């Protein structure tokens, strides 16, 4: 199992290219199941989750081919991938494939819409909470889909196709919004979704579906209307920049000090998070093609944050912000409202010398003068990167174990950081 070894203390200076967003690429790839034509996706990040989803789609009969690479970058960076689901060979998504990644459950939407049936294993994913699928089920039922759950599988049937209807989410869900939008694209009639997720990845998916011939309006607001069409065609679409990767590197620079331009991204994708970084005393300057982050000299101020659905502070940046606050002057309170068990990084940050106490959904972080390197263990994707950025600012050597979590969501992390002056290497043990 690979480890990452970091020797902390170096400032970060230079340019970091931001990859396509994992959380946009996954639903976009799944939407290829809706058409027998070719969907071409540009800027697909090279990540373990993407490779896993390629295998899952392959199980359903989706062919893919890869070309295109950003100039001046080596193999392994974001690519253009063509997906063609000419014939769906099975509507069953088995446990051994779906259990490793939550988003693979989302194939249920396009499969039941196009084939009238889908049998999908209950999902797995990061261990950050119970993560039920009740909203997917209630939403699909509203669109005329019959659902049975048996033997760990959700069996969805809609022999007469998806019907028009109105679903109001009792709680905002990104994944269930993606799924209802994909299923509704092929509905007989109009579908309205209220209290929909407003994340940029939902907008990116709606734009792609519209390029394929769907009629979706309102994505990016909490009220989405979809006029169903009989069939969808192929399209060419670009995966939007990864706002979580952007925020992570911004927080890394905030912790270590230095001056880094994050390229191929946009500050508008994460304004709330960048406002919190700014409030900590870091210079954040949007540029034409990204955002420049710099901190020289002065220490970090303590800032309180509470996670919320978009446009609020993203839960996927909570661990990284907590790492940053371990070095602030004073005490900050970090409240997690999306997932009930997303504090696994607390005990690992403590190994580096952080002073954090937990009470319910709130962590109180008392800034310490400095962190010190140690052996730590990655517990989930964003928790693991919080350890990496804390280690960059710690004195001495840190070894992060179980880095397969990191490989799910951070393309070429060691290379990107090393180019900016960090001492980071992967150890294969």
Ligand X SMILES: CC(=O)N[C@H]1[C@@H](OP(=O)(O)OP(=O)(O)OC[C@H]2O[C@@H](n3ccc(=O)[nH]c3=O)[C@H](O)[C@@H]2O)O[C@H](CO)[C@@H](O)[C@@H]1O
Ligand Y SMILES: C=C(OP(=O)(O)O)C(=O)O
Question: Any contact of residue 60 with ligand Y (CB under 6 A)?
Answer: no
Interaxial angle between packed helices 108-115 and 22-31, expressed in degrees from 0 to 180 and rounded to the nearest 10:
10
Angle at 363 between CA 362 and CA 369, to 5 degrees: 155
Question: In Å, what is the CA distance from 216 to each residue of 103, 322, 412?
Answer: 22, 37, 35
Query: Judged by CB under 6 A, which of 52, 79, 102, 243 binds ligand Y?
Result: 102
Q: Catalytic pick from 18, 126, 203, 216? A: 126
Bridge partners of residue 366, in order along the sequence: 331, 355
Among positions 153-172, residues that touch ligand Y (CB under 6 A) are none
Map the footprint of ligand Y across residues 328-387, applying CB under 6 A: 381-382
Residue 152, number of CB atoms within 10 A of its CB? 10
Q: Residues near 8 by Cβ (< 8 Å), separated by ≥ 6?
A: 256, 371, 373, 391, 392, 393, 394, 395, 396, 397, 398, 423
Report, in Å, the least distance between residue 28 CB and ligand X: 11
**E-strand stretches of 24-78:** 38-44, 63-69
171 binds ligand X (CB under 6 A): yes
Residues 260/253, Cβ–Cβ less than 8 Å = yes
Return the residue of 66, 76, 87, 132 that touches ligand X, per CB under 6 A: 132
Residue at shortest CB range from ligand X: 175
* Residue of 224, 254, 303 lying closest to 11 (CA atoms): 254
Q: Is 43 annotated as a binding residue?
A: no
208 is a catalytic site residue:
no
Judge contact between 295 and 282, C-beta under 8 A.
yes
Give the shortest CB-131-to-ligand Y separation in angstroms: 8
**Looking at 8, 161, 200, 409, which residue binds ligand Y (CB under 6 A)?**
409
136 makes contact with ligand X (CB under 6 A): yes
Name residues contacting ligand X, limited to 339-398 (CB under 6 A).
Answer: 339
Number of residues interacting with ligand X: please give it, by CB under 6 A: 20
Measure CA of the first residue to CA of the last residue in the chain; give whole Å.
6
314 binds ligand Y per the rule CB under 6 A: no
Q: According to CB under 6 A, which one of 44, 108, 118, 126 is a site residue for ligand Y?
A: 126
Q: Which two tokens stand for residue 314?
A: 């993203």
406 among annotated binding-site residues: no
Calpha distance 318→334 (Å, rounded): 8
Residue list 3-32, contact with ligand Y (CB under 6 A)? 23
* Residue in 46, 102, 295, 416 binding ligand X, rule: CB under 6 A: 102
Annotated binding site for phosphoenolpyruvate: 22-23
Which residues are known to be catalytic? 126
Q: Which residues bind ligand Y (CB under 6 A)?
A: 23, 101-103, 125-126, 128, 316, 381-382, 409
Q: Which residues bind ligand X (CB under 6 A)?
A: 23, 26, 102-103, 129, 131-136, 171, 173-176, 315-316, 338-339
């Amino acid at each position: 199992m690979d480890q990452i070894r970091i020797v902390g203390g170096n400032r970060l200076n230079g340019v970091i290219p931001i990859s396509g967003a994992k959380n946009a690429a996954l639903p976009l790839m799944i939407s290829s199941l809706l058409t027998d034509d070719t969907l071409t996706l540009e800027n697909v990040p090279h990540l373990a989750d993407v490779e896993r989803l390629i295998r899952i789609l392959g199980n359903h009969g989706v062919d893919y081919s890869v070309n295109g690479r950003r100039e001046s970058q080596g193999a392994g960076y974001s690519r253009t991938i063509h997906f063609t689901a000419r014939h769906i060979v099975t509507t069953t998504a088995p446990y051994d494939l779906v259990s490793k990644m939550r988003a693979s459950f989302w194939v249920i939407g396009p499969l039941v819409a196009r084939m009238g049936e889908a049998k999908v294993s209950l999902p797995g994913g990061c261990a950050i909470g119970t993560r039920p699928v009740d909203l997917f089920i209630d939403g699909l039922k509203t669109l005329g889909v019959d659902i049975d759950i048996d033997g760990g599988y959700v069996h969805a049937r809609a022999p007469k196709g998806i019907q028009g209807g109105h679903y109001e989410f009792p709680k905002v869900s990104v994944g269930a919004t993606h799924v209802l939008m994909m299923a509704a694209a092929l509905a007989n009639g109009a579908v309205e979704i209220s209290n929909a997720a407003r994340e940029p990845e939902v907008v990116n998916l709606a734009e792609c579906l519209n390029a394929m011939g769907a009629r979706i309006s309102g994505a990016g607001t909490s009220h989405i209307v979809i006029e169903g069409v009989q069939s969808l065609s192929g399209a060419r679409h670009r995966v939007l920049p990864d706002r979580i990767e952007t925020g992570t590197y911004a927080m890394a620079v905030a912790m270590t000090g230095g001056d880094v331009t994050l390229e191929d991204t946009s500050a508008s994708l994460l304004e709330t998070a960048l406002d919190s970084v700014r409030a900590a005393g870091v210079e954040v300057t949007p540029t034409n093609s990204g955002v420049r982050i710099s901190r020289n000299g002065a220490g970090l101020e303590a800032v309180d944050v509470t996670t919320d659905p978009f446009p609020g502070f993203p839960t996927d940046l909570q661990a990284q912000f907590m790492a940053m606050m371990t070095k602030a002057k004073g005490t900050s309170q970090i409240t997690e409202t999306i997932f009930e068990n997303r504090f696994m990084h607390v005990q690992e940050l403590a190994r580096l010398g952080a002073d954090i106490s937990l009470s319910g959904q709130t962590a109180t972080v008392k800034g310490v003068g400095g962190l010190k390197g140690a052996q730590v263990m990655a517990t989930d994707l964003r928790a693991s990167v919080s350890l990496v950025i804390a280690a960059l600012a710690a004195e001495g050597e840190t070894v992060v174990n179980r880095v397969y979590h990191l490989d799910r969501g951070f393309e070429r992390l060691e290379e990107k950081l090393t180019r900016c002056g960090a001492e980071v290497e992967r150890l294969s043990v």
